[in-house]
A = this chain, B = another copy of it.
Amino acid sequence: MINVEIISIGDELLIGQTINTNASWMGVQLAIQGIKVANVVTISDTWDAISHALKVSQERSQVVLITGGLGPTKDDITKQVLCDFFNTKLVLNQDVLEHVESFFIKRNRPMLEVNKMQAMIPEACEVLFNEQGTAPGMWFENSDTIFVSMPGVPYEMKYLFETHVIPRLTNRFPVKKLIQKTYLTQGIGESFLAERLIDWENELRAEGLDLAYLPSPGMVKLRVSSSSGNLNRVAFYGNQLNEMIPTHLYGEEEETLPEVVGKLLLKNGQTIGAVESCTGGNILASLTSVSGSSGYVLGGFVTYSNELKIKLSKVKSETLTNFGAVSEEVVLEMATGGKSELGVDWSISVSGVAGPLGGSEDKPVGTVWIAIDGPIRKISRKFLFGTDRQRTVQMTVLTALNMLRCEILGINIEKKHD
Contact surface of A with B, Cβ cutoff 8 Å: 11-21, 23-31, 36-44, 49, 56, 71-75, 107-109, 112, 114-115, 153, 155, 182, 189-192, 194-195, 211-215, 221, 223, 274, 276, 279-289, 291-294, 297-305, 307-308, 312, 342-343, 355-358, 384, 386, 388-391, 393, 418
* B15, A37: Cβ atoms closer than 8 Å: yes
Q: A24-B20, A75-B212 are in contact. Are A15 and B31 (CB under 8 A)?
A: yes
Give the complex CA separation of A16 and B41 in angstroms: 14
* A38, B28: Cβ atoms closer than 8 Å: no
Contacts of A36 in B (CB 8 A): 11, 14-15, 44
Say how far A253's CB is from chain B's closest CB, in angstroms: 11
Give the complex CA separation of A293 and B357 in angstroms: 11
- Checking B107, B195, B280, B299 against A305 with a beta-carbon cut-off of 8 angstroms, the contacting residue is B299
Can you list 7 residue pairs at the A/B interface with Cβ under 8 Å?
A17-B223, A39-B42, A71-B215, A281-B286, A284-B302, A285-B285, A298-B307
Give the complex CA separation of A12 and B56 in angstroms: 23
Q: A190-B71, A195-B112, A388-B155 are in contact. Are A302 and B305 (CB under 8 A)?
A: no
Q: Which of A73, A192, A274, A356 has the most CB of B within 10 A?
A: A73
When C-beta atoms are compared, the residue in chain B nearest to A397 turns out to be B285
* B299, A300: Cβ atoms closer than 8 Å: no
Contacts of A289 in B (CB 8 A): 280, 389-390, 393
* A298, B305: Cβ atoms closer than 8 Å: yes
Q: A16-B24, A192-B112 are in contact. Are A282 and B280 (CB under 8 A)?
A: no
Contacts of A190 in B (CB 8 A): 71-73
Contacts of A308 in B (CB 8 A): 298-299, 342
- Copy number in the complex reads 2
The 9 A-B residue pairs whose C-beta atoms are closest, nearest first, are: A280-B288, A281-B284, A16-B27, A281-B281, A16-B28, A40-B42, A16-B24, A281-B285, A299-B308
Contacts A16-B28, A299-B301 known; list 6 others, CB within 8 Å.
A15-B30, A16-B23, A17-B28, A20-B23, A112-B192, A112-B195
Give the complex CA separation of A18 and B195 in angstroms: 23
- Checking B75, B297, B384 against A280 with a beta-carbon cut-off of 8 angstroms, the contacting residue is B297
* B293, A280: Cβ atoms closer than 8 Å: yes
Give the complex CA separation of A267 and B172 in angstroms: 62
* B285, A280: Cβ atoms closer than 8 Å: yes
Contacts of A393 in B (CB 8 A): 289
Say how far A292's CB is from chain B's closest CB, in angstroms: 7
Q: A14-B36, A40-B41 are in contact. Are A300 and B288 (CB under 8 A)?
A: no
Say how far A133's CB is from chain B's closest CB, in angstroms: 10
Contacts of A292 in B (CB 8 A): 357
* A42, B23: Cβ atoms closer than 8 Å: yes
Say how far A165's CB is from chain B's closest CB, in angstroms: 15
Q: Which of A283, A305, A357, A389 has the most CB of B within 10 A?
A: A305
Q: A75-B212, A112-B192, A285-B281 are in contact. Are A15 and B27 (CB under 8 A)?
A: yes
Say how far A56's CB is from chain B's closest CB, in angstroms: 8
Say how far A325's CB is from chain B's closest CB, in angstroms: 10
- Checking B39, B73, B108, B194 against A384 with a beta-carbon cut-off of 8 angstroms, the contacting residue is B108
Q: A284-B280, A388-B155, A391-B155 are in contact. Are A214 and B18 (CB under 8 A)?
A: yes
